[in-house]
Amino acid sequence: MYLLWLRVAAILYAAASITIFPAVLYSDPSRGVTRWRQWCVHFGGLAFFFHFVSVVEMLLQAHRWVPMGFREVESLLGFTVAALFFIVWWLYNAIPLGLFALPVTFFMVFIPALGPDRYAFPSEGVRTSWLIAHIAALLLAYAALGFSLLASVLYLVQERRIKSKPSLRTASGPNSVWAPLDWLPPLDTLERISESMLEFGFPCMTVGLVIGSVLAQETPLGAAYFLDPKIIAAFVSWAIYVLLLLVRRTAGLRGRKAAYLSGAVFIVMMVVWTANLFSHVHGFGAP
């Protein structure tokens, strides 16, 4: 029965992880920030309650108070992370920490919620479909970040073009240095493209990591799969992605600084991509 409560908790943690982002990143009251926060509190509180019930029932059924096995330890660690987050939130109203704490808790609970044993796909076709979805989601994330970087670079070029006084005086002349760039969109448009591409790529990366976690635990390596440099780098890049979104929203970064920050994150993503060359268990042809 404890597995049922853990699965309910995993679903609620996922809902809380989704609602925490608009609750923190949006500051405009017209976007319903208060409503998002209320939903996050409800989902997170219920998830923590069912998680608590699951942990207690699991230990009682085993007639012990010490977790044994990787999945039991992982579930208890996720419960500890959630507990610390809610304590800090209650004492200091530090809701932005939920951008990291809630998704991390979900990842820790998700695999144990699949069952005490290794999850096996019903057929090779189903496993292949999950693998295709995993690859497609991550490719969409990389592509979105690439478009964001491109828009940021064009922003810098357009900004330089506008601020260049000689070019303004000869912008319509045939010999103008900046004449071939008259097609560039306005700065505001480039800024919105860059930001929207980041917001689109983040859920794609998250979905890709979730699917990858299921594929990983199905391999004979089990938990050791997550010690691979490729996997560690992927989760680090996800955390940096969250930090990028948070900094852009809370610090109000726009223009040049935002472009430089997007470029730095893109470089990190390329490092993760090339890490496949050095991975022993997660190459381009491996699951």
Q: Which amino acid is at 116?
A: P
The mean per-residue pLDDT over the stretch 47-63 comes to 87
Among 72, 20, 71, 76, smallest CA distance to 44 is for 20
Mean pLDDT of the chain: 77
Using alpha carbons only, how large is the chain's radius of gyration in Å? 23
CA distances from 78 to 47, 107, 138, 144 (A): 11, 8, 25, 30
The mean per-residue pLDDT over the stretch 99-123 comes to 80
Residues shown for the chain: 287
**Could you tell me the pLDDT band of residue 229, with boundaries at 50, 70 and 90?**
low
Look at residue 285 in the predicted model and tell me its pLDDT: 45
Burial of 208-219, coded b for 16+ CB within 10 Å and e otherwise, reads bbbbbbbbbbbe
Look at residue 49 in the predicted model and tell me its pLDDT: 95
Residues 73/67, Cβ–Cβ less than 8 Å: yes
**Could you tell me the pLDDT band of residue 43, with boundaries at 50, 70 and 90?**
very high
| Whether residue 224 has pLDDT greater than 60 | no
The mean per-residue pLDDT over the stretch 133-161 comes to 84
| Whether residue 82 has pLDDT greater than 80 | yes
Q: Would you list the domain boundaries of the chain?
A: 1-117, 123-287
Q: What would the pLDDT profile of 91-105 be if each residue is shown by its tens digit?
A: 888 888 888 889 889
The mean per-residue pLDDT over the stretch 153-162 comes to 80
Q: Which of 81-95, 166-180, 186-200 has the lowest mean pLDDT?
A: 166-180
Return the higher-pLDDT residue of 237 and 283.
237
Kindly state the DSSP code that residue 65 receives in the 8-state scheme.
Answer: S
Listed as own residue / partner, the contacts of 231-238 with beta carbons closer than 8 Å and 24 or more positions apart are 231/282, 233/271, 233/272, 233/275, 234/209, 234/272, 235/209, 236/268, 236/272, 237/205, 237/265, 237/268, 237/269, 237/271, 237/272, 238/205, 238/206, 238/209
CA distances from 283 to 175, 208, 227, 229, 230 (A): 51, 16, 14, 11, 9
> Is-above-0.75 flag for pTM?
no
93 CB burial (10 A radius; 0-12, 13-18, 19+): exposed
For the chain, percent helix, then strand, then coil, each to nearest 5? 80, 0, 20
| Whether residue 14 has pLDDT greater than 60 | yes
3-class secondary-structure state, position 285: coil
Q: How far apart are CA 127 and CA 113, in angstroms?
A: 19
What's the start-to-end Cα distance of the chain, in Å?
32
**Could you tell me the pLDDT band of residue 278, with boundaries at 50, 70 and 90?**
low
Note the helical H segments in 164-220. 165-169, 187-217
Q: How far apart are CA 21 and CA 244, in angstroms?
A: 13
The mean per-residue pLDDT over the stretch 13-30 comes to 81
